[in-house]
Amino acid sequence: MSGQPLLWERFPLLWSGCRLSHGVHSGKVSFEVKYVQRLVSSSQEEWRKLDAEPCVLRVGWSTDETSLQLGETEGSYAFDSRGRKVNKGRREDFGEPFSEGDIIGCYAWVKDSGQSELSFFKNGRPLGVAFRLPASRLKGRTLYPHVLCKNCSVSLNLDPLGSPPWYQGPIGFTPLHTLQPHQRSAAPRPPPSREECEVVLMVGLPGVGKSHWAQAHLAQHPEKRYTLLGTDALMACMRTTEVESDATRQLVLQQATQCVTELIREAAGRRGNYILDQANVYASARRHKMLLFSGFRRRAVVVFPSEQDWNARRVQQQRERGSAMTQENLLKIKVSFTLPEVGDLLEEVVFTERPREEAQRLLAAYKEEAREVLPTPPKRKKQKYKHKPNHCRPPAHGWKTWNAPYRRDPGWTGPPPPVPSPYWGPPSCTRQDMYDPMRPRNCYGCYGSQWNAFYGATAPFVDRSNTALAYW
């Protein structure tokens, strides 16, 4: 099995993780990962000043409920290609760096007492035990093999036919892919059909607390295994080595916003449960996204607090992020904001803090306030109709009626007729002579018998004068 990040060319700052579908909760088990190659694109040069290490690989183990960002949460244990071990975002020196062509062996020993040891090998050489976990850490949960990439491709030895490992590991460890089905645990599967999948569309003004509600909903419903797609979540997956400044944050924010749009399109084609954590204040944007998720159970959650609570949350958000939206942009959003309705591609609309009637009154006050402050937009100039020349205008009774008598003529759009011969064919009409006042006479006067002869008349036409007749 091999793979690489899906959007590495367009978004080189993005870390992409993948967790295997089967794991173990007891015994000695191993798997191997090969660092195939670094993926380098022209766009990486633009981001080199923000990220001095554009290609990084992490391998290790994680439990099912953790993030796909290996090593960034509790229950997620990684060995980094920079020679570090990572857990809960803390990095410590371990082993030695590895790069293209190296093969890393990952070994997990879950003892009967519940204690665990996670060790790593490089090209068959032991690097030591990276993590010793007490029984209270895993609590009987399953460990799954996990890979996290940034601009690099990997290959895993998971041959179900039981091909030999790339390097022989320590005695007693069994490769994961050679275990019997009853010896390994399978992760929960996604819903079997789109009708059983759900998408939650967050709606609200900037800074009202949509991300906070989404995180709380994730924690309250772990059985649904939601995937959170939002700008804040993506920015956590675009870590840079430079100390973040306002300019750096704006560049990363722009990348994250574009990346969320791409991931929403990808998610619409895959079965699962999703939360779209964006403002979604425009009705056209909501409709476009919900059209992508056709067949899903589509639900909108509107977060609309009181003005006092909103101002307090905005101040807290500005303190945490170090930047805030300009007042002019905020006023424009207020003017354009519309509340979603049931039936507009939505089966349910939930208001979390204020009922719809109160939220509608408060929104009307926001709109009135914004219109008084914002300048009046310039009126659009109506485009003047440019009259076409007379020969390009359709006749009063329409094109269809005018063209009906000549529709069977094979020379309707052909070249001008050739020089007349003793045996003429049917009359040929071009766009130039379409409006010739003598054309009906030509077709139904001297050419009438020729027309009939061409379309199967019983008596063929004979030119008795043997001259070219222009008019009868």
pLDDT digits (tens, 9 = 90+) for 281-315: 888 899 999 999 999 999 999 999 988 998 888 88
Rounded CA separation 429/444 (Å):
13
Q: Is residue 335 part of a domain?
A: yes
Do 178 and 235 fall within a single domain? no
Parallel/antiparallel/unpaired status of strands 125-133 and 116-122: antiparallel
Q: Is residue 379 part of a domain?
A: no
User: Hey, which of 76-80, 325-329, 416-420 has the most confident mean pLDDT?
Assistant: 76-80
pTM, entire model: 0.74
C-beta atoms surrounding 186 within 10 Å: 11
What number of residues does the chain have? 472
In this structure, are residues 57 and 34 in contact, taking their beta carbons and an 8 Å threshold? Answer: no
Map tokens 């979390």 to a residue: 352
Q: Tell me the pLDDT tens digit for each residue of 12-22.
A: 888 999 999 99
Do 36 and 71 fall within a single domain? yes
Which pLDDT value is given to residue 468? 38
Q: Is residue 385 part of a domain?
A: no
Half-sphere exposure of 300 (CA within 13 A, CB side): 26
Average pLDDT rounded to a whole number, residues 215-244: 83
Q: Is residue 391 part of a domain?
A: no
Is the pLDDT assigned to residue 451 strictly greater than 50? no
More confident: 178 or 79:
79
Q: Tell me the pLDDT tens digit for each residue of 370-388.
A: 888 877 766 666 666 555 5
Is the pLDDT assigned to residue 321 strictly greater than 70? yes
Confidence of residue 433 (pLDDT cuts 50, 70, 90): very low
Do 157 and 200 fall within a single domain? no
Q: Is residue 102 part of a domain?
A: yes
Q: Tell me the pLDDT tens digit for each residue of 28-75.
A: 999 999 999 988 877 666 666 677 788 899 999 999 988 899 999 888
Do 318 and 261 fall within a single domain? yes
CATH number at residue 335: 3.40.50.300
Q: Of 129-143, 354-368, 392-406, which gets the smallest average pLDDT?
A: 392-406
Partnered with residue 301 across adjacent β-strands are: 202, 350
Beta strands in 177-231 (DSSP E): 185-186, 198-203, 226-230
More confident: 31 or 461:
31
Which pLDDT value is given to residue 155? 93
Average pLDDT rounded to a whole number, residues 455-459: 47
Domain ranges, residue 427: 397-472
Do 141 and 68 fall within a single domain? yes
Parallel/antiparallel/unpaired status of strands 90-93 and 297-302: unpaired
Q: Of 70-84, 226-240, 405-419, which gets the smallest average pLDDT?
A: 405-419
In this structure, are residues 63 and 76 in contact, taking their beta carbons and an 8 Å threshold? Answer: yes
Which pLDDT value is given to residue 395? 54
Q: Is residue 359 part of a domain?
A: yes
Where does a domain end: 166, 186, 206? 186
Q: Dihedral of the CA atoms 222, 225, 231, 237 (nearest 10)?
A: 100
Confidence of residue 267 (pLDDT cuts 50, 70, 90): very high
Do 236 and 176 fall within a single domain? no
Do 199 and 182 fall within a single domain? no
Q: Is residue 381 part of a domain?
A: no
Which pLDDT value is given to residue 179? 85
Phi and psi dihedrals of 27, rounded to 5? 95, -170
Q: How many structural domains is the chain composed of? A: 3
CATH number at residue 81: 2.60.120.920
Say whether 165 sits in a helix, a strand or coil.
Answer: coil
Mean of the per-residue pLDDT values for the chain?
A: 80
In this structure, are residues 23 and 185 in contact, taking their beta carbons and an 8 Å threshold? Answer: yes
Identify the CA nearest to 86 among candidates 97, 98, 74: 74
Do 68 and 163 fall within a single domain? yes
Do 178 and 229 fall within a single domain? no
Where does a domain end: 158, 186, 214? 186
3-state helix, strand, coil in the chain (%, to 5): 30, 25, 50
Q: What angle, 0 to 180 degrees and rounded to 10, lies between the N-to-C axes of helices 327-336 and 356-373?
A: 130
Q: Is residue 386 part of a domain?
A: no
Do 329 and 234 fall within a single domain? yes
Is the pLDDT assigned to residue 246 strictly greater than 70? no
Where does a domain end: 186, 215, 239? 186
Which pLDDT value is given to residue 273? 94
Structure letter (DSSP) for residue 143: B
Average pLDDT rounded to a whole number, residues 432-455: 47
Do 172 and 199 fall within a single domain? no
Fill in the amino acid letter for 194: R
Do 447 and 327 fall within a single domain? no
